[in-house]
């Protein structure tokens, strides 16, 4: 089973959504964590828009990347273009992608939903690519 780390600046919105989708849609295919270059809190709007589609992320917590070991992961996905700020060991995993999705912080609920749907689309493709032989 491939191990995936989703990383973002604050581990508050996009990476939390990705973790929620990956846990739900990739349950038997991948194991997943998320973190931030710094930790903060899980944005309540993110919790709300994920619950709209039946995924509960209310028990997820924001964690700093420094709490994790890069060697424990096969794939690292940056959701905010922060790949350039990651320590080299994280960028050199078997799979590294920098998705550069918009940060919905301070935006309308429609923007949160659009970003959520973009995250879901990418996570689905990622699960397919990592779980194919």
Place of tokens 């604050």: 10
Phi, psi of 37 (to 5 degrees): -60, -30
Q: What is the DSSP letter of 112?
A: H
Q: Which of 7, 80, 119, 123 is catalytic?
A: 80
CA angle, 23 then 26 then 32, to 5° = 50
Virtual CA dihedral for 78, 81, 85, 87, nearest 10 degrees?
30
Q: Which of 8, 17, 42, 55 is catalytic?
A: 8
Annotated active-site residue 8? The verdict is yes
Distance CA 101, CA 87 (A): 20
Annotated active-site residue 82? The verdict is no
Enumerate the active-site residues.
8, 80
């Amino acid at each position: 089973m491939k191990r995936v780390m989703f990383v973002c600046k604050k581990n508050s919105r996009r990476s939390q959504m990705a973790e929620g989708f990956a846990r739900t849609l990739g349950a038997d295919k991948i194991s997943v964590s998320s973190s931030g270059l710094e930790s903060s809190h899980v944005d309540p709007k993110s919790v709300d828009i994920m619950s709209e589609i039946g995924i509960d992320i209310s028990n997820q917590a924001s964690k700093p990347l420094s709490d994790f070991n890069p060697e424990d992961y096969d794939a690292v996905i940056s959701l905010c273009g922060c790949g350039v700020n990651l320590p080299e060991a994280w960028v050199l995993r078997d799979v590294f992608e920098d998705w550069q999705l918009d940060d919905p912080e301070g935006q309308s609920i429609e923007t949160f939903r659009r970003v959520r749907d973009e995250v879901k689309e990418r996570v689905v493709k990622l699960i397919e690519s990592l779980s194919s032989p």
